[in-house]
Structure 1
Amino acid sequence: MVYEGKPSTGCYPCRKRKIRCDEARPNCRHCYVYGRPCPGYRSDAIFRNESRKFERLAKKDASSGSSDSSSSNSSPPKRQAQPPARPPQASALAVYRVADPTWEHRALCYFFDQYTTPAEDEGGVAHLEYITSLYARYGEGSPRAEVSPSACLRWAVNATALVTLAHVAHAPPLMIKARQGYGKAVRSLRAALASPDQVANDETYASVVLLSLFEDITGERDGLFGSHTAGLELLTKLRGESQLRHQLGREMFIFAWAQIVVEILALGGKTRCNFDWAMGMLDENDPVESLMLATTRLCQLFISLQSAPNPPDQATLESWIAACQESDFELSQWTLYLPDHWLPLVVYSAKGEPLLTSHRISNAVIRGCYRAVRVILQQQLLNLNHTLISINQKNQQSGDPAPVEGKFDEKSVRSVIREMIPDMCRSMPFWLSDVDTLGRPKKPSDNWRPVRAAQAYGLLWPLWCMISCGMPTPAQMQQMSTVLLRGGSSLGIKLALILAREAERIRGESGLSEIPVVGPKSSRNIMGDGVCTF
C-alpha cells in the first residue's frame, strides 16, 4: 500500500471547502464566521473495516459476470477482445473533486483573519471582533440574512473583504467587485439612516465602521480627514449611554472614539458633538478606559484652544500652558498605575540590541497610542510657549537687553519627545510580530505567524505623529517610514503610503531633511538611537 500522507484533522466543512482549519475548540473560526455549527474533528488515525464493503462489491461483480455469461450462452459467440475486468476496489477508492471556494469566500476568510482579532485573554483588547458575530447573525448564508433589519452590514463586510484581498493579491477584477459592493452598502446605509427603527442599531453602526475602514484601505480620505467620521460621531451621540452598558456597544464606541480623537489631536479637526455624557461611564481603573478619559479631556482642551479669539493675550496663553501642563501630568501618571502585565519588558536581541516587548500585542498597541498623544501634547506646549515669547518680545520696552523667557524650560519638553520616539522604535519589532516576547526572531518553523493587518493599521497614526513632529533622527525616520511602506505594499493599506508622503511633504516645507525612502524589506541594522530592524 502506498502511503498518501497524513489525512487532514480539520472539521468536515473546512475539508470540503479545501481551506485550512484552525481546529479551535469547541468550534473552528470559519464555522463561527459563517454562523454554522462545527461538527468537530476527526482523530489523527482512522481505522475502518472495509471487509463487508469489498464482499458486497465482489458479489455484485460476480452476479454481473454470471448474467453476462448466461446472456452470452444464448447468443452466438463473437471473437472480440473484451476490456480487462475492473478491480472491485476501484469504485470504493474513487476520488471526487470538491469545488474550490469562491473568491468572495476567500476574501471573507482573509479579512476576518487579518482585521478581526479577539482579545488574547481576559482584560485584553480586541479589534473589530464584533464584526464576526454580527455577520454570523445577519450575513450571507445565515438563517437571519433574509429577515435582517438592514442589508448594509452584509454589503459593507463583503466590499471591505474584497478590497482587502484585491490589494494584497493585485487583482483588479476583485477591486471592481469591491467598489460595486461599496456602492450597494452606501445605498443600503442611506435607507437604514432614514429609518427610525434602524438608524441606531448595531448593524448600521458597524456598517459605518466598515466603510470607514474601506476608505483607509483604499486611501481615499478627503485629504487626511475621513468622510465617515462625522457619521460615526453623530451616530455615537444618537446611541447615547445605552451603548456603553454592554460589551458589544463598548467595543464599537472605542473604535469610533479613536477615529474622532485622531482628527482632533493629529489633524486639528473640530468635533460635532461632545462626549461629556460618556465621561462618567468610563472606568478609571481600566487601563484602556482611563487613557480614554485623559485623552478625551485633552481633546476638549484642544477644541477650546481652537475656538478662542485670535490672537490671544498673554494671560490667556499662560492659562492654556498651565492647562496643557496639567493634562500632561495626568497622562504621565497613567503609566504609574498600570497592572504588572501591562508593563513593557526590556529584552535584548541576539546582537545585544535593546527591544521593548509586552505580554500582549494589544498592550503594545495601546502604549504606542499613548506615546503619540504625549508627543502631540509636547508639540502644543512648545507652540504656545513660542507664541508667548513672541508677545513678550513685542511688549518689551525698546533698549531693554534682558532676554525674553517663556513660561517653562523647553529642554524638559523636548526630552519627553526624545524619550517617546526611541521607545516607539524599540517596540515596533514586537508590534509587527517580527520577534517574540523574549526578543527572539520568529521563524516559519517556530509556530510563526506573520503580522496581521490590524496590528499595522493600529501603527499608522502614531507613526505619522512621530514622523511629522520634526524631531526623529535620520535612522529613526528610516525605520518608521519603512514600516509605513511595509503596511502599504505588503498588507495593502494605502493610507500608510499617503501618510508617509504627507509626513515627507511637511518636513520638506519645514526645511527639514526628507524622509529616506527605502524598500519594505530593508534589512539594514541600526540600533544606536533606538532604531530596531525587522
Structure 2
Amino acid sequence: MVYRGKPSTACDRCRGRRLKCDRVRPSCSQCIRAQVDCPGYRDTAELSFRDQSEEVIRKAQAKHRARRSPGTETINQQLDRKAISLDVVLSSPPEELAKGYFFTHFGGGHMPYLLDLTRNQDNAPINAALTAAGLAALSNLRMSPQLMLNARRHYTVALSRTNHALQDTVLARRDETLAAVVLLGMFEIITCSDGSFADRWVKHMDGAAQLIELRGLQQVERSAGLHLFTQLRAQIVLSRIYQERYCSPILAQLTEEAPKYRDPNYRTIDRLGILVIKLSTLCAAVKDGTIQQPTDIIRRSLSLDADFMSTLLAIPPTWAYSTVEVPHSEGGSRMHSVWGTRFHIYRNLTISSAWNNYRSARLVIHELIITAAKSLQHSSNMNTRNEQESLILQSERTCHQIVEDICASVPFHLGATAGDADACGGIAASPTGAGGITVVWPLLIAANSGFASPTLRNWVTDCLDKIGHSLGINQALAVAQLLRNGMRTRSFASVDSSEDLYQCYRDY
C-alpha cells in the first residue's frame, strides 16, 4: 500500500483541460459556462492509496532468483507468492500497514472524509484511532496477539486524546474529533468478543448523539461534517428504535437542514431519515403509554408506512438496483453465498445501506401492526376480526418480502457483481470491511424478525461467520454466536442513558 500524494479534486473535464475548477455540485462553473454536462468528481480517498502488492512481490521474486545458488533450485521452486508477500508486508512498519489497510478496506467511499481529516494531524486523536482500528483488523486476520497489543496501545492514546478534546468547547466541535469517535466505535466493532457489544454500541451512540447536538447546524454545511452526520444519524436512530427511546429534536432539525448541502441524487437519504426518526417517536410513545389503543397504533403505523412507500416512489434513477438471477449448476445447487435464487446489485454502499435502513424500519412498522392487530382478534365483532386477520396476513407477507430483500443485498455487500452469477459454488468476489460492517445489523434484524425460517437463520449465521473471519470483524462473529444461542428478540440493548458525554467515552 503506497500513498500517492494529494490527487486533484477537479472534475474530469477541468482536469483534462487543466482548468481551475470550483468543484461546485452538481456542476462546476466551468462546465456551466461551456454549457456541457459536468462529468462529476473522483473519489480522492480511493486514488490516494494504491495497492502495489503485485509489483512488490514481482520485484522480490526477481531479487530472490538473482541471489539463489544452483543447489537450492528445488527449495526456491517451493516458495509461493503468499510467502514472499508476507515477508514483504512484515518488513513495513505495522502502523503504516494498518492505516493503508483501513483506508483500502474500510474507508474509501464509505468514509471519504478520512484522508483530508488525517492529513497533518499527527497528534490528533483521529490518527491514533485510525491506527488502532487498522491494527486491530490486521491482528484478527493474522491472529496476532502482538498486533492486538499494539492496537490497544494506540486505542488508549486515542481515547485519552479524545477525552481531552471533548473538554475543550472548540476542539469538541471539530470534524476531526467526531471522526475519532467514529473510529473508536469501529475499533469496538472490530475487537468485540462477546454478546455485550450491543450495550457498548448503544453507549457509544448516546455519546455521539450528544456530540452532534453540541456541534450545531454548521456541521452539515461542510462536506466532512455532512458525511459524519449522515453516517452517525442512521446508527443513532436505529439504537433509539431498538431501545424504544425518543430522538432529540435537534437531530430532526439537522436532518431537515442537510438536504440544502447535499447532492440532489442523495437527498432521499434525508427524507428517509425524517421518517425513521418519526418511527423512533412512535416506538417510544407505544412503550411509555402515550399511545395505548391498538387501533391508534395501527392507524399511525399504516400512515407512516405509506409515507415510506411514497418516498421510495420518488427516488432518483441512480437509486434503482438490478436483480441478478442465479442459474442452477449441473449438480442442481445454487451459490451458497446467495439466499434463494437472486441477489441485488446497487450503485454503491451508500445506496444499498439506505435501502436496508428503509427495509429495517418497515419491518419494525409491520411488527407493530401485527402485534396491535392480534390484540383485537378477540373482538366480538365478526367484521372487525376479519379485518384484523386480513391486515395481519398482509403485514406478514410484507415482512417476508422485506427479509428476502435484505438477504438479497448481502452478496453485493460482500463484493459480488452481476458477472458472479455465472460462478458455481460461491461468489468470486473481494469483500471489503465497509461492506461487511454495513450489512451486519440488517442481517441481525432480518434473522430476529420472526419471519426467518431456521434454514435462513443458519444461512445468516454462515454469512456473519464469513464476514468475521475473512474481514477481521469480530462483531459479526459475536452476532453469529447470539443467533446460535437462540436469540429471537430485537430488545437486546439496554444501558443507562444518564451518563454524560465525558463519562461515556472514558468508560467506552
Q: Identify the residue that residue 213 of structure 1 maps to in structure 2.
A: 186
Q: What per-residue deviation string (whole Å, max 9, x for no partner) do you get for residues 256-312 of structure 1?
A: 112212212234355466523224314396222222122122122222223325xx6
Q: Is contact 1:484-1:497 (8 Å) kept?
A: yes
In 1: Cα distance, 2:328 partner to 2:424 partner: 15
Q: Is contact 2:135-2:148 (8 Å) kept?
A: yes
In 2: Cα distance, 1:495 partner to 1:501 partner: 10
In 2: Cα distance, 1:491 partner to 1:205 partner: 25
Q: Identify the residue that residue 154 of structure 2 maps to in structure 1.
A: 181
Q: Identify the residue that residue 319 of structure 1 maps to in structure 2.
A: 296
1:331 matches 2:322: no
Query: What is the CA distance between 1:319 and its match in structure 2?
Result: 1.9
Which of residues 367, 376, 394 in structure 1 aligns to 2:355?
367
- When residues 421 and 170 of structure 1 are mapped into structure 2, their CA distance, relative to the original with a 3 A threshold, is same
Instruction: Give the secondary structure class of the aligned counterpart of 1:230.
Output: helix
Which of residues 131, 134, 137 in structure 1 aligns to 2:117?
134
Equivalent AA in structure 2 for residue 337 of structure 1: A
TM-score, reference length from structure 1: 0.67
In 1: Cα distance, 2:143 partner to 2:278 partner: 43
Query: What is the CA distance between 1:403 and its match in structure 2?
Result: 8.4
TM-score, reference length from structure 2: 0.70
RMSD of aligned C-alpha atoms? 3.6
In 1: Cα distance, 2:218 partner to 2:206 partner: 20
In 1: Cα distance, 2:411 partner to 2:3 partner: 34
| Structure index of larger Rg | 1
Q: Is contact 1:233-1:273 (8 Å) kept?
A: no
Q: Identify the residue that residue 372 of structure 2 maps to in structure 1.
A: 384
Equivalent AA in structure 1 for residue 117 of structure 2: L
Query: What is the CA distance between 1:134 and its match in structure 2?
Result: 0.8
Q: Is contact 1:488-1:496 (8 Å) kept?
A: yes
1:172 matches 2:145: yes
Number of residue-to-residue matches in the alignment: 399
- When residues 336 and 273 of structure 1 are mapped into structure 2, their CA distance, relative to the original with a 3 A threshold, is closer
Instruction: Give the secondary structure class of the aligned counterpart of 2:91.
Output: coil
Which of residues 326, 335, 339 in structure 2 aligns to 1:349?
326
Query: What is the CA distance between 1:32 and its match in structure 2?
Result: 3.6
Q: Is contact 2:45-2:112 (8 Å) kept?
A: no
Q: Is contact 1:359-1:437 (8 Å) kept?
A: no
The percentage of aligned residue pairs carrying the same residue is: 21
In 2: Cα distance, 1:33 partner to 1:438 partner: 27
Q: Is contact 1:356-1:426 (8 Å) kept?
A: yes
Which ranges in structure 1 are unaligned for 5 or more consecutive residues? 1-9, 14-24, 35-40, 42-96, 119-126, 140-144, 146-150, 511-534
1:277 matches 2:257: no
Q: Identify the residue that residue 122 of structure 1 maps to in structure 2.
A: none
Which ranges in structure 2 are unaligned for 5 or more consecutive residues? 6-40, 56-87, 330-340, 491-508
Q: Is contact 1:386-1:406 (8 Å) kept?
A: no
1:431 matches 2:422: no
Query: What is the CA distance between 1:130 and its match in structure 2?
Result: 0.7
Q: Identify the residue that residue 101 of structure 1 maps to in structure 2.
A: 92
Alignment of 1:111-126 (within 5 A): 111-118=102-109
Structure possessing the higher relative contact order (Cα contacts under 8 Å, 6 or more residues apart): 2
Instruction: Give the secondary structure class of the aligned counterpart of 1:281.
Output: helix
- When residues 247 and 509 of structure 1 are mapped into structure 2, their CA distance, relative to the original with a 3 A threshold, is closer
Q: Is contact 2:252-2:274 (8 Å) kept?
A: no
Range 98-107 or range 495-504, more displaced: 98-107
Q: Identify the residue that residue 28 of structure 2 maps to in structure 1.
A: none
Q: Identify the residue that residue 467 of structure 1 maps to in structure 2.
A: 447
Query: What is the CA distance between 1:334 and its match in structure 2?
Result: 2.7
Instruction: Give the secondary structure class of the aligned counterpart of 2:323.
Output: strand
Which of residues 397, 400, 403 in structure 2 aligns to 1:415?
397
Alignment of 1:43-192 (within 5 A): 100-118=91-109, 127-139=110-122, 151-192=124-165
